[in-house]
Structure 1
Amino acid sequence: MTELTDLTVAEIRDGFRAGDFSAREVAEAFNKNVAAARALNAFIVETPEKALEAADAADRAKAAGEPLKPLSGVPIGMKDLFCTEGVQTTAASHMLEGFTPTYESTVSGKLWAAGAGMLGKLNLDQFAMGSSNETSYFGNVISPWRRARKDGGGGDNAALAPGGSSGGSSSAIAARLCPAATGTDTGGSIRQPAAFTGISGIKPTYGRCSRWGIVAFASSLDQAGPMARTVRDNAILLETMAGFDPKDSTSLDLAVPQWEAHLSSDLKGKKVGIPKEYRPDGLNAEIAALWDRGIEWLKDAGAEVVDVSLPHTKYALPTYYIIAPAEASSNLARYDGVRYGQRDLPDGAGLQDMYAATRALGFGPEVKRRIMIGTYVLSAGFYDAYYTQAQKVRALIARDFEQAFEKCDLLLTPTAPSASFALGEKQADPLAMYLNDVFTVPASLAGLPAMAVPGGLDAQGLPLGLQIIGKALDEQTVLNAGLAIEERAGFTARPDKWW
């Protein structure tokens, strides 16, 4: 019999409805895995009682013959950037350590209303700032994967990064601690960790999912999305997470499509664009080879492949690292020790001293770095030279996509420039770390839906992912192309249990 923790969201949902197992059995199995895998440091807070509470409610409803909810019997992980009523929400920071919201974020509230249970709050890069999950105040998240030597012998056993900022989500899903989890994506923080750990994740069109109740990083870029082991599971969760929210001024007032019901790997009549700018000199040979295989997979699914150009792609990364820190500088100004969060008040200190001491204590080095960059580019002498120019380039990047989509329906690119790297390997060089986002940032700047799907393993046995970028509001084509790749890649690899 298949272990309950090996089942996908769809299999748990359908198996529970068919009476193959109870919701409580599922919740207990995942709770057991969460407790046994604390070495991964994927969870900041474990909530086994919440998972059991939702499971018992589902079992009672089923026994009484009541209509079941879309996610009845399915426990999930919640990234600790989503405010959860009565459960600590920290954004992986010391600044918010101990903060217990009296309200629920819109996205998490939708999931609980749909019957999902919460296994716990997942670790992340502090305030979602990072690409390796090494900036959390609560310690590094460790990927469940390990390198294997090319000769087939044991690997070097180095602890690997699960990607960031949603590294707790990606690690937990890959290790079977939860069948799915929420993530947030500002410049690739769903897609890059998904690629690093051999799972799938989708960043929907900006505005599809409410940002209300999510701790803000960069408001014009942040977007919630699901992470899971299959494309179908992502479609299932996204249907619940998406929808208009009057509490969020950027929320799109549109009906939520039935993405799961319309899933199809038949891409006949679709054109797939291959942007030449995503194949720079020095591109990792294994990444390039996987990209070529992905092109053939989509051709096999019936798609026509065309070459396209996104000429301003080379400016995307510097543009992002001006706009995102600028917005972070503004958003994080609220953490001043007055209203909520940590407060450091040295003896005899005045108001300004309290501000400085509190922020020095509450924020980690990467958060401070981005606040300083953002404050600099927003300062009177440099606003026009940096921030205004970056917004102009952002508009050009968005226009590149619009022009490309006149020739095609979706784009296929790599997700990350490499497989996962060892923890500490790039921590001393912020620029090298920022380059992890080189393939994911452009779609974020343009607000487009984009998905990562696993395609294979590199020579050291680590997952590699492909990225599908779609037109605004066309998540269906992105999901369908992801399904086509998933079926043809046949990715079933999983990490060997060592924890």
Structure 2
Amino acid sequence: MNFRSITDIRKAVKTGEISLQDVVRHYADNIEQNNSDINAVVTLDVDQALADAERIQGKIDNSEAGKLAGAVIGIKDLICEKDKQTTCASNILSNFESIYDATVIERLKEEDAVLLGRLNMDEFAMGSSNENTIFGPARNPHDTSKVPGGSSGGSAAAVAAEFSAATLGSDTGGSIRQPASYCGVVGLKPTYGRVSRYGLVAYASSFDCIGPLTNTVEDAAEMLEVISGYDPNDNTSSSRAVPDYSSYVKEPQSNIKIGVPEEYFGEGLDAEIREGIESRLSALEQEGVELVPIHLPHMKYGIATYYILATAEASSNLARYDGIRYGHRANIRDVKEELKKEKAAIKEQMELATGDKKVTLGKELEEVDSSLIRLYKKSRTEGFGTEVKRRIMLGTYVLSAGYYDAYYGKAQKVRRLIKEDFTKAFEDVDVIVSPTAPTTAFDIGSKTDDPLQMYLNDVYTITANLAGICGINVPAGTHSNGLPYGLQFMADTFEEGKLLNAARLIERQSEVETI
């Protein structure tokens, strides 16, 4: 099978060139043969997918099928599917099975998408490399010694490796766009509120967005149409009407203004990526696009602002995982035994100090945790990984009474300034362009001991989440090291149409080059 897009597959299925069941088998065979090297898929349900494909094939034959009939889709493992494990790649949820479908899952099913499997990710979406996971690191299909990016690394790798036609990921600070850049696929982060978060396991509630990863801009537009719209289960979802996003792709307009911020093309950006993006922009100028130099003065505070606010929200959201209500629970017998031994040790020390064999414990016990508190601690210690613990501790620190105003309160003010920078810029331009990531994919294990270097991989994507605007990665070229890189367009809130229009112009350049 050699179909690049959902549209191509849908046409082939409708004309009888191939059956939808054969499409599912094609992807399942690819996964069986290659997933051991790439580790993008963590659970696979071929039987259910084939049964769904057979049912949907009947609807296609009767011209009753939905918009995504023919699409075989993988789901990041933090979006709830009924009766499927939703682990968030964490020990704390390793045995959790969802009892309901997320709104985006319901909408995919309503439009006859086939859901094939669950995809690897950084634990609770905290990471930039897909190395923080109980399933082992996902790998980049272009070079399995490299990371696929994160936290939606499994989602990006699955599309690039032809494990599915498209996937859903989540983007809190660039977690769709950055791995899309590393893996050479399209990745779209919608405006905050455009897509319902109901059924998405929360990392940072004021940042999280669900979005598609696809092979083409048109596929991203189609998927966005399906998953967007108001949801009464999510009070942050917008009631704005969902546009016909596909129309922006079919006839892209070149009479647009693209803002080029100097802050995104400075120190730290790989020289070859800079030259490649500048070459793409020069070609757009020849088509009639106007390039406008702009200034985003507060962009330099983006990383610090994001990691204060996002970790604060994470520490609050993850407090629910206490080992009592659901999720991993430590062995209570072990907890009680530890407590018993500690009390005995204290008693022995007091006997030695006083010479009284009948000493009783009083005040000393006040410093000894109860078995319940110990159960909380042990469950969370065993359940959470290193990076998640780091972010919980940082978030708890910035929210503490002595530091709230100095860190959290100040970061909220800077967030507003970043938003105002974008608002002002969009008065003069339609979209803003930037690199998606400062480099191509890096070696697995090369940055795990340096969290600050890891965090800098999101330097160009974080500000869109802080401002609540939309952004997209579109493949822009191949580096001399053989790895893909992308460029990012950002548009104002609920202007995904402009985003898709600009992305299609870049994609069209690539299509001409391959002819």
TM-score range for the pair, normalised by the shorter chain length? over 0.9
Aligned to 1:244: 230
Paired AA for residue 267 in structure 1: Q
1:257 paired with 2:243, answer yes
1:26 paired with 2:23, answer yes
- Contact kept in structure 2, 1:196 and 1:419, CA below 8 Å: yes
CA distance in structure 1 between the partners assigned to 2:274 and 2:308 by the alignment: 29
- Contact kept in structure 2, 1:337 and 1:358, CA below 8 Å: yes
Aligned to 2:275: 289
Q: Secondary structure at the match of 2:494?
A: coil
Aligned to 2:350: none
Paired AA for residue 294 in structure 2: V
Q: Secondary structure at the match of 1:70?
A: coil
Note the C-alpha offset of 1:436.
Answer: 0.2
- Contact kept in structure 2, 1:274 and 1:306, CA below 8 Å: yes
1:442 paired with 2:463, answer yes
More helix by share: 2
Larger mean CA deviation between 258-267 and 402-411 belongs to: 258-267
CA distance in structure 1 between the partners assigned to 2:79 and 2:41 by the alignment: 14
2:73 to 62, 76, 79: 76
Note the C-alpha offset of 1:282.
Answer: 4.3
2:56 to 33, 55, 58: 58
Note the C-alpha offset of 1:490.
Answer: 3.3
Note the C-alpha offset of 1:301.
Answer: 3.5
2:197 to 200, 211, 225: 211
CA distance in structure 2 between the partners assigned to 1:359 and 1:20 by the alignment: 52
CA distance in structure 2 between the partners assigned to 1:284 and 1:59 by the alignment: 47
Q: Secondary structure at the match of 2:138?
A: coil
Aligned to 1:155: none
Aligned to 1:467: 488
Aligned to 1:192: 178
- Contact kept in structure 1, 2:80 and 2:102, CA below 8 Å: yes
The within-5 A match list for 1:405-424 is 405-424=426-445
CA distance in structure 2 between the partners assigned to 1:234 and 1:448 by the alignment: 17
Aligned to 2:82: 85
Aligned to 1:380: 401
Note the C-alpha offset of 1:265.
Answer: 5.6
- Contact kept in structure 1, 2:40 and 2:153, CA below 8 Å: yes
- Contact kept in structure 2, 1:46 and 1:120, CA below 8 Å: yes
Q: Which runs of 5+ in 2 are unaligned?
A: 340-370
Aligned to 1:496: none
Note the C-alpha offset of 1:492.
Answer: 8.6
1:485 paired with 2:506, answer yes
CA distance in structure 2 between the partners assigned to 1:88 and 1:483 by the alignment: 36
CA distance in structure 2 between the partners assigned to 1:267 and 1:254 by the alignment: 24
1:314 to 276, 300, 306: 300
Aligned to 1:369: 390
Aligned to 1:17: 14
Note the C-alpha offset of 1:395.
Answer: 0.2
- Contact kept in structure 2, 1:48 and 1:118, CA below 8 Å: no
Paired AA for residue 53 in structure 2: A
Note the C-alpha offset of 1:406.
Answer: 1.2
* Residues 300-347 of structure 1: CA deviation (Å, up to 9, x unaligned): 332111100000000001000000000000000000011110000334
Distance 1:491-1:178 versus aligned 2 partners, 3 A rule: farther
**Greater Rg by CA:** 2
CA distance in structure 2 between the partners assigned to 1:390 and 1:217 by the alignment: 18
Paired AA for residue 423 in structure 1: I
* Residues 424-443 of structure 1: CA deviation (Å, up to 9, x unaligned): 01111000000000000011
Q: Secondary structure at the match of 1:444?
A: helix
Distance 1:491-1:131 versus aligned 2 partners, 3 A rule: farther
Paired AA for residue 47 in structure 1: D
Paired AA for residue 429 in structure 1: D
1:179 paired with 2:165, answer yes
- Contact kept in structure 2, 1:22 and 1:73, CA below 8 Å: no
1:113 paired with 2:110, answer yes
- Contact kept in structure 2, 1:413 and 1:439, CA below 8 Å: yes
Note the C-alpha offset of 1:298.
Answer: 2.5
* Residues 156-185 of structure 1: CA deviation (Å, up to 9, x unaligned): xx6110000000011111011111000100
1:162 paired with 2:183, answer no
Larger mean CA deviation between 295-304 and 350-359 belongs to: 295-304
Q: Secondary structure at the match of 1:12?
A: helix
Aligned to 2:361: none
Paired AA for residue 209 in structure 2: Q
Note the C-alpha offset of 1:51.
Answer: 1.6
CA distance in structure 1 between the partners assigned to 2:455 and 2:181 by the alignment: 16
Distance 1:285-1:20 versus aligned 2 partners, 3 A rule: same
CA distance in structure 2 between the partners assigned to 1:192 and 1:224 by the alignment: 14
The within-5 A match list for 1:297-376 is 297-344=283-330, 345=332, 346-348=334-336, 350-376=371-397
* Residues 18-55 of structure 1: CA deviation (Å, up to 9, x unaligned): 22211111111111111112221111111112221221
CA distance in structure 2 between the partners assigned to 1:254 and 1:462 by the alignment: 39
Larger mean CA deviation between 245-254 and 279-288 belongs to: 279-288
- Contact kept in structure 2, 1:266 and 1:302, CA below 8 Å: no
Larger mean CA deviation between 34-43 and 472-481 belongs to: 34-43
RMSD of equivalent CA atoms: 1.4
Q: Secondary structure at the match of 2:67?
A: coil
CA distance in structure 1 between the partners assigned to 2:71 and 2:255 by the alignment: 36
Aligned to 1:124: 121
Q: Which runs of 5+ in 1 are unaligned?
A: 147-157, 494-499
Distance 1:415-1:336 versus aligned 2 partners, 3 A rule: same
* Residues 409-465 of structure 1: CA deviation (Å, up to 9, x unaligned): 100110000000010011110000000000000111001110000011111110010
* Residues 66-98 of structure 1: CA deviation (Å, up to 9, x unaligned): 511111122110111100101111011111011
Q: Secondary structure at the match of 1:490?
A: helix
- Contact kept in structure 1, 2:248 and 2:498, CA below 8 Å: no
Q: Secondary structure at the match of 2:245?
A: coil
Larger mean CA deviation between 280-289 and 327-336 belongs to: 280-289
Q: Secondary structure at the match of 1:232?
A: helix
1:401 paired with 2:387, answer no
The TM-score, its normalising length taken from structure 1, stands at 0.94
- Contact kept in structure 2, 1:201 and 1:452, CA below 8 Å: yes
Paired AA for residue 406 in structure 1: E
Identity of aligned residues (%): 46
CA distance in structure 2 between the partners assigned to 1:401 and 1:62 by the alignment: 44
* Residues 201-230 of structure 1: CA deviation (Å, up to 9, x unaligned): 100100011001011000000000000011
- Contact kept in structure 1, 2:259 and 2:293, CA below 8 Å: yes
Aligned to 1:497: none
Distance 1:264-1:113 versus aligned 2 partners, 3 A rule: closer
Note the C-alpha offset of 1:8.
Answer: 1.3
